[in-house]
Amino acid sequence: MVMKRICLIMLTAGLVFGLSISKLFAQGNNGQDHFLVFGCGACHGIQGEGTVLGPSVAAGALSVDEFISYIRQPTGSMPMYPPDTLPDTMIQEIYDFVTPEVQQQSLAGRVDIGEQVYRSKGCYQCHANEGQGGAQGPRLGPNPISFPRFSWYVRNPNGGMPPYTEIVLSAQDLADIYSFLEERLEPPSLSDIPMLLL
């Protein structure tokens, strides 16, 4: 765990911790073309920012595999795009278009401070005291999603989660919370909890 954090710090050493702009125009715009030609922008906005007809797809919450899978088997009112209409390679380019370059963790997180911040910023309200999740929010730890995806989601959540801008949650806060989640204990084996066995 410590090595992982050191690597992250090395990767981003010297960088300013903050939101970067989208890779919107750095991809040769193939993805953008596909996005508009296939009508994605009609519901999700021209940059995938979301409209009343469709949610934001620029939140970076899905992996590319999940993104492809969803397009193949969408829920709600979104039409299904089969591979012969929209191949995986083109979806990959759309993914690159709508998925912004996410921030890397440049600040070392502090577990003890993280526990306090996790509470004071209200994360426990939906995700419970230990990040184990509950009726109002999913489990966050241990083994949280990658820090870039975590940070992007916190700033740009889908669904009902309130957005946390840098004004209300600093980069250091975010790093501290993430460290707290990383350090949560693995649960006991089910075989050690007889009352949870059927």
Partner 1 sequence: MTKSRDPEEPSIERRRFLQHGTLAGAAAIIGSSASDKSQSQEITQETASRPVAPVMTAEDEAAPPAHAQVMSADERSGSDFMVDVFQSLEFDYICANPGSSFRGLHESIINYGGNEHPELITCCHEESSVAMAHGYFKAEGKPLAVMAHGTVGLQHAAMAIYNAWCDRVPVYLILGNHNDAALRRAAEWYHGVQDAADMVRDYVKWDDTPWSLEHFAESAVRAYKVSMTPPMAPVVLVVDGHLQEAPIPIDSGLHTPKLTIPTPPQGDSGAVEEAAQMLVNAEFPVLVADRAARTPEGMFLLIELAETLQAAVIDGGSRLNFPTRHPLNQTHRAGNGAPPINREIISQADVILGLEVMDFWSTVNSLRDQLHRSVSRVAKPDAKLISITTGDLYIRSNYQDFRRMQEVDLAIAADAEATLPALIEAVKRLSTRPRRRVFEARGEKLAEASRLTEENTRIAASYAWNASPISTARLCSEIWEKIKNEDWSLVSSYYSDGGGWPRRLWDFDKPYQWLGHAGGGGIGYGAPASVGGALANRRHGRFSVSIQTDGDLMYAPGVLWTAAHHRIPLLSVMNNNRAYHMEMMHVQRMCNARNRGVDRANIGNELVDPNIDYAQMVRGLGVYTEGPIDNPVDLGPALERAIAVVKRGEPALVDVITQVR
Instruction: State the residues that interact with partner 1 by CB under 8 A.
Output: 50-55, 75-77, 120-122, 124-130, 132-139, 159-160, 162-165, 167-169, 184-185, 187-188, 190, 193, 195-198
Burial label for 70, CB within 10 Å (0-12, 13-18, 19+), is: middle
Minimum Å distance from CB 166 to partner 1? 10
Smallest separation (angstroms) from partner 1 to the CB of 91: 20
**Residue 84, token pair as written in the block:** 């012969």
Q: How far apart are CA 153 and CA 138, in angstroms?
A: 13
Nearest distance, CB of residue 118 and partner 1, angstroms: 12
In the structure encoding, which two tokens stand for residue 106, read together? 């440049």
Q: Does residue 54 sit in helix, strand or coil?
A: strand
Let me know: does 5 contact 109? Beta carbons within 8 Å: yes
Smallest distance from the beta carbon of 111 to partner 1, in angstroms?
16
Biggest CA–CA distance in the chain, Å, is: 57
- What is the nearest approach in angstroms of partner 1 to the Cβ of residue 135? 4
Is 100 or 141 the residue whose CB approaches partner 1 more closely? 141
Q: Which is nearer to partner 1, 1 or 190 (CB)?
A: 190
Q: Which residue lies nearer to partner 1 by CB, 133 or 148?
A: 133
Q: Which is nearer to partner 1, 95 or 164 (CB)?
A: 164
Residue 94: CB minimum distance to partner 1, A: 20
Radius of gyration of the chain (CA): 19
What b/e string do you get for 80-118 counting C-beta neighbours within 10 Å, with b at 16 or more?
Answer: ebeeeebeeebbbbbbbbbbbbbbbbbbebbeebbbebb
For partner 1, the closer of residues 75 and 89 by Cβ is: 75
Cβ proximity to partner 1: between 34 and 127 the closer is: 127
